[in-house]
A and B are shown apart, each in its own frame.
Chain A
Amino acid sequence: MIFIPGFIITLATFPGVIVHEAAHQLMCRFTGTPVLKVCYFQTGNPAGYVIHDEPSSGWKHFVISVAPFLLNSIVGLLICLPVALAHEGMGIVNLLLGWVGFSVAMHAFPSTGDANSLWAAIRKPGASWLLRIIAFPVVFVIHIGAVLSVVWFDAIYAAIICFGAPAAFLEMIA
């Protein structure tokens, strides 16, 4: 197993951290949740964070927590798509798109901090059962992802999103 210090990975994939935090902040704005502080990138742990007021409903909390998962996955996939479709060579444009797309997809998974705050939100007495049913597996998967990150799960996920999905799609329609 290759061990690379976290801050080096964070530095190498900083575009993903920025997109991740911006997704949290954007969703706070859409849900009318006041934001107190945002750190888009730092070399420490966590690599970035958004401190916000308690959302007015559990659903809003859920949306704020999982927004980066959707946004980073979609943006990473779209940016990497021409690289996945490229047939020959890795020119500078492909390398740039590949790096940015992979970095963004690599930071798609919500952090355990996101999972913990979501867990606290769905355990509140007023939270709906539907939200609990949907959010519980999400929290579980986030924690599994955090555990597996020591075996490069985030990078594996990014590879699946950026290259595996387009390849599977091509194979399906070929």
Chain B
Amino acid sequence: MSLPSPLHPSSESTDEVAPKACVNCGSIRLSTQTKLPVCEPCRVELIKFPFPLWVKVAAAVIAAMVVVSLVLSRERIHAAVQIAHAKKMKREGRWEESYQSYLPLIKEYDDTETLLNYAEAAMNSGHTLDAAGAMRSLAGREVTQDQNYRANSVVYQLQRSTGGFLPPGPSIPMTNANSAFQPDKPALQLGGQPNPLNPAPAGQILLGQPLQLNNVPIQIQTR
């Protein structure tokens, strides 16, 4: 908030005697540049009202954060633009372009959403092996309900296009060891009730074991 000075002589204070000396240093030569009762040197001093040391330190910290942010932004902008482009192509149903955009990204980003988007784009653009590889790389991950539904859709498409058997697709190099395929564990995990048709909880996807899609067991096998 910026407040005008309360020291200005106002109409209500006309009865008061106006100061004839600088309220700061006592000089009798008041500045003609301001209505404040201060002399010219004191007015100049007030213009250069000092910033406390802690404010200067805080300003330096903020400036440093801006510099760090600019450096980080420079590193991230390329991938961010590419991801935005890939998503846009996917939204517009331009699957091949989306697949091509995701291809360089998955070497760097192995998060569930990117891999799943990549798998969807690969599946819909006819790159079945890559889609299978991406789904295998998603093994052991926890997913949201929406991601689980989308993963099931990809698995279902894979099963339909391969007649229930998947050739070994190229695996995606993972930077996160936890995301490596674990044959004895569910490919995707989602908290839910155990399903009698599936040893894993509802919503889980298993590679090489019975799968659930809308309560219909489906099968993907790797060999």
Contacts and interface: CB of A to CB of B under 8 A. Distances in A.
Interface of A: 15, 18-19, 21-22, 24-25, 28-29, 32-36, 38, 40, 46, 48-54, 56, 64-65, 75, 78-82, 85-89, 93, 96-97, 100-101, 104, 110-111, 113-114, 117, 120, 170-171, 173-174
Q: Which of B1, B48, B65, B83 has the most C-beta atoms of chain A within 10 angstroms of its own C-beta?
A: B1
A78 B35 CA distance: 40
A15 B57 CA distance: 12
A113 B84 contact: no
Interface string B1-44: 11111111000000000000000000000000111101000010
A64 B2 CA distance: 8
Nearest to A88: B111
Given A40-B55, A78-B66, A120-B4, 14 more contacts: A15-B62, A18-B55, A49-B1, A54-B34, A54-B35, A65-B2, A79-B69, A82-B72, A87-B83, A93-B72, A100-B65, A114-B1, A173-B81, A174-B85
Contacts, number: 142
Interface residues of B, number: 45
Contacts of B76: 82, 85-87
* Chain A contact residues: helix, strand, loop or mixed: helix
A22 B61 CA distance: 14
28 contacts: A19-B62, A28-B47, A32-B47, A34-B38, A34-B43, A34-B49, A36-B5, A36-B7, A50-B2, A53-B35, A54-B4, A54-B35, A79-B69, A81-B73, A82-B72, A82-B75, A87-B79, A87-B114, A88-B114, A89-B111, A93-B68, A113-B3, A117-B2, A117-B3, A170-B84, A174-B81, A174-B85, A174-B88
B53 interface: no
A86 B38 CA distance: 53
Contacts of A113: 1-3
Contact of B1 (A35, A50, A79, A86): A50
Given A82-B73, A113-B1, A113-B3, A174 B47 contact: no
Nearest to A30: B47
Interface of B: 1-8, 33-36, 38, 43, 46-49, 51-52, 55, 58-59, 62, 65-66, 68-70, 72-73, 75-77, 79-81, 83-85, 87-88, 109, 111, 114
A33 B47 contact: yes
Contact of A25 (B5, B36, B51): B51
B72 A28 contact: no
Contacts of B36: 34, 36, 53
B93 to A, nearest CB: 15
B68 A97 contact: yes
Given A87-B114, A97-B69, A114-B2, A36 B55 contact: no
B46 A34 contact: yes
B86 to A, nearest CB: 8
B79 to A, nearest CB: 6
A97 B46 CA distance: 34
Contacts of A51: 3-6
A89 B51 CA distance: 38
A81 B85 CA distance: 18
